[in-house]
C-alpha cells in the first residue's frame, strides 16, 4: 500500500495538466510574500498525506498560495491549517494542534487529508476543467484508502467534487437530494457495492469563514465529534 501512495505522490508533484495553475504556483514561489521572503517555496502540486489505514478521509479545496504552495503540505503554514489541525488534535486525529512545516512532526491518526485540486488556484477559484483534470488523483486515493468509513468535505466545491468522483467510479448513480450544508451527514448506500462511507460536510476553514464567525471552533468540533462517535462504534 505504501508503494501505491508513493506512486500517487510522485504523479501529483510531476503533474503538468493545468498550465495556468503551474504558472501561477511558480510565480508565487518566485515573488513570495514579504513575511516569507527568506524561505524557499514548494511551488508545485501538493500531494495528500496522512495515515494509509485511515478511517476518516478529509477533502479540502486546494493548497493555499502561501500555505501549502509554500510548505509543500496541504493546510500547513496558514491560518486555515491552524484552525483545522487544532480541531483534529482536540478530536484525537492529530498528535499536535498546529503545523508550520513539512518536517514539524505532525502525524495524523486514523485520518488522511487530500484536496480536489492539488495546485493553488488564483483567487481560490479553480476552473471546472481544472477540477476535472485533477479528479483522477482522488479516484486513485479512494481505491487505496480501503478502510475509510467517514468522509469529511470542507466546503461546497469539495462536497460536489467528491460526489462527482463517486458517480464517475460507479459507487453511486446519482446525487438527487444530497445537498451541501454545514453539519449535514449522509449515509450513501448502493446495493451493488454495499454501504459506503458516511459523508459529512463542513464549511471550509478559510479565514473569511472563521473570522466572520460563519465557521467557529465549536461548529467544527461538533462535526468531528459526530464522526468520532460513529467510528468508535465500529471495530478499529
SS3 track for the chain: CHHHHHHHHHHHHHCCCCHHHHHHHHHHHHHCCHHHCCCCCCCCCCCCEECCCCCEEEEECCCCCCCHHHHCCCCCCCHHHHHHHHHHHHCCCECCCCCCCCCCCCCECCEEEEECCCCCCHHHCCCHHHHHHHHHHHHHHHHHCCCCCEEEEECHHHHHHHHHHHHHCCCCCCCCCCCCCCCCEEEEEECCCEEEEEEEEECCCCHHHHHCCCCCHHHHHHHHHHHHHHHHCCCC
Residue 191: band (very low, low, confident or very high) from pLDDT cuts 50, 70, 90: very low
Written as nine digits, the cell of 116 is: 480536489
Q: In what order do the strands lie in the sheet with 111-115?
A: 49-50, 111-115, 56-60, 150-154, 194-202, 185-190
Domains of the chain and CATH, by start: 2-232 (3.40.470.10)
Query: Confidence band (pLDDT; 50, 70, 90) for 188?
Result: confident
The pLDDT confidence band at residue 115, using thresholds 50, 70 and 90, is very high
Range 78-93 average pLDDT: 96
Instruction: Report the C-alpha gap between 43 and 181 in whole angstroms.
Output: 32
Average pLDDT, the chain: 93
Contact predicate 41/166, CB 8 Å? no
Per residue in 15-72, pLDDT (tens digit) is 999 999 999 999 999 999 988 999 999 999 999 999 999 999 999 999 999 999 999 9
User: What is the pLDDT at residue 236?
Assistant: 57
pLDDT of 192 reads 53
| Cell numbers for 108 | 495524523
> What is the pLDDT at residue 1?
61
Model pLDDT for residues 194-218, shown as the tens digit of each residue: 567 999 999 999 999 999 999 999 9
Whether 190 has a pLDDT exceeding 60, the answer reads no
More confident site: 13 or 232: 13
pLDDT above 70: residue 220:
yes
User: Does residue 156 or residue 34 have the better pLDDT?
Assistant: 156
Going 6 to 11 to 14 to 15, the CA torsion angle's sign is negative
Identify the weakest region by mean pLDDT among 98-102, 113-117, 179-183: 98-102
| Mean pLDDT confidence for 117-145 | 96
Amino acid at each position: 500500500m505504501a508503494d501505491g501512495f508513493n506512486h500517487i505522490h510522485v504523479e501529483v508533484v510531476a503533474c503538468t495538466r493545468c498550465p495556468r495553475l503551474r504558472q501561477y504556483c511558480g510565480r508565487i514561489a518566485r515573488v513570495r510574500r514579504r513575511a516569507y521572503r527568506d524561505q524557499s517555496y514548494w511551488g508545485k502540486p501538493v500531494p495528500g498525506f496522512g495515515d494509509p489505514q485511515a478511517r476518516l478521509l478529509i477533502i479540502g479545496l486546494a493548497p493555499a498560495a502561501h500555505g501549502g504552495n509554500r510548505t509543500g503540505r496541504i493546510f500547513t503554514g496558514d491560518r486555515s491549517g491552524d484552525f483545522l489541525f487544532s480541531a483534529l488534535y482536540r478530536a484525537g486525529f492529530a498528535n499536535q494542534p498546529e503545523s508550520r512545516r513539512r518536517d514539524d512532526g505532525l502525524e495524523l491518526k486514523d485520518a488522511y487529508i487530500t484536496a480536489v485540486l492539488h495546485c493553488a488556484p488564483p483567487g481560490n477559484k479553480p476552473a471546472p476543467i481544472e477540477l476535472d483534470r485533477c479528479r483522477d488523483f482522488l479516484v486513485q486515493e479512494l481505491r487505496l484508502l480501503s478502510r475509510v468509513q467517514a468522509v469529511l468535505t470542507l466546503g461546497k466545491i469539495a462536497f460536489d467534487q467528491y460526489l462527482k468522483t463517486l458517480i464517475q467510479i460507479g459507487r453511486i448513480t446519482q446525487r438527487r437530494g444530497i445537498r451541501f450544508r454545514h453539519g449535514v451527514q449522509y449515509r450513501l448506500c448502493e446495493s451493488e457495492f454495499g454501504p459506503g462511507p458516511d459523508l459529512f460536510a463542513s464549511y471550509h476553514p478559510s479565514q473569511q469563514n472563521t473570522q466572520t464567525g460563519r465557521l467557529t471552533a465549536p461548529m467544527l468540533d461538533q462535526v468531528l465529534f459526530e464522526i468520532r462517535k460513529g467510528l468508535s462504534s465500529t471495530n478499529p
